[in-house]
Amino acid sequence: MFQKGLKGVVAVQTAIAEVDGQNGRLMYRGRTVEELLPGRSYEEVAAFLWDGELPGEARLEEVDGWLKEGRKLPDHVQALLDVLPEDMEIMDAARTAISAYSHPEFRSRPIREQAALLTGALPVIVSAHYRKRSGLGKIAPDSALGQVANYLWMLTGEKPSPAKAEALGMYLKLTMEHGMNASTFAGRVTISTESDLTAAVTSALGAMKGPLHGGAPSGVIDLLEEVKASTSITEVIEGKLAAGEKIMGFGHRVYRTADPRSVLLRETCRGLEGQDDWLDLAVTAENEITRLLDVHKPGRKLYTNVEYYAAAVMRAIDMPPDLFTPTFSVARMVGWTAHAIEQIGDNTIFRPESEYVVQDPVGRPSS
């Protein structure tokens, strides 16, 4: 039976994540994100998604070592980055550089090791091309820093404050994985042909680039900046509602209750109260906007989605809009590689059918 866009078609059985939109629940490997993520590092959560169990000390050291090894780009990858045009989009540069990992020496390494190396490499690639586009000098990775803090260091050349690293870290952990989205499906289709992990990730990056999937939360940032510049949150929101405008950052096509990722990011922001004006503003504005939506759109139950607090985090760390989708990709690399590992563990090539539609002479489908 034809389903446009494969909507509602179950193509994969997975143990990696469950996205329960009706009940507002996101689970990684059988654990809710609310239970799993607080107090755990990026490195721990990545290992958990790859392995299916929380890492012990020895495994965590091994994964951390691979991630840090991945920060040292191979000579040919660095040379490729050096010759890419400055005006090339960051996502295009990232896809091109990652594809260069597909060589025999790299493919000979165990697949979980490859996954960690690519995960360690992508933030370095993104930050290097961003700085090149911005006319800034190169910054070497700092092996004393964890994955999140090192990414911020390589982007800015400044050691991040604990508040900024914690806020970005929670965002990255929450967006590592989210079920059978377009980029994850693209990666699984590629590796189902018995291609390699690098090819699968390159496919995923190509899908993520599209604005229907990896689009930046720039609309939410515009909203927060408008609210910050105003003396009244209420006046701003009521003006938009009266004009029939959508309130960016509220509502989600999957979640029919609160987006659990937004809830955790909100709690992270509340825990950092007083340490950053933008994070404080986001919490205050959400309370008032939710109240006004209940008044003006009763019964709609419009909750904040992950883009709302993602925008607040990105604004708080002064991340420019052209880094939003690349940073989303830095997080999702873990999920892409976890799905590729799962796919090859019990593989069948994806080969759906198509339905041929006869065209009449002027190009319209016949009845």
Catalytic residues: 252, 307
Q: Smallest Cα–Cα separation from 140: which of 124, 126, 129?
A: 124
- Report long-range pairs for 154-158 (Cβ below 8 Å, ≥24 apart): 154/123, 154/124, 154/127, 154/128, 155/127, 155/130, 155/131, 155/319, 155/323, 156/318
Residue 298 zone, left/alpha/beta (φ > 0; ψ -120 to 50; rest): beta
Tokens for 164?
Answer: 């900024």
Tokens 């690098």 — which residue? Answer: 198
Please give the Cα distance from 79 to 69 (Å, whole number).
18
Q: Are 208 and 214 in contact (CB under 8 A)?
A: yes
How crowded is the C-beta side of 279, counted as CA atoms within 13 Å? 25
Please give the Cα distance from 224 to 234 (Å, whole number).
13
Tokens for 223?
Answer: 């909203």
How crowded is the C-beta side of 165, counted as CA atoms within 13 Å? 18
Neighbours of 65 (CB within 10 A): 13
Tokens for 64?
Answer: 């951390």
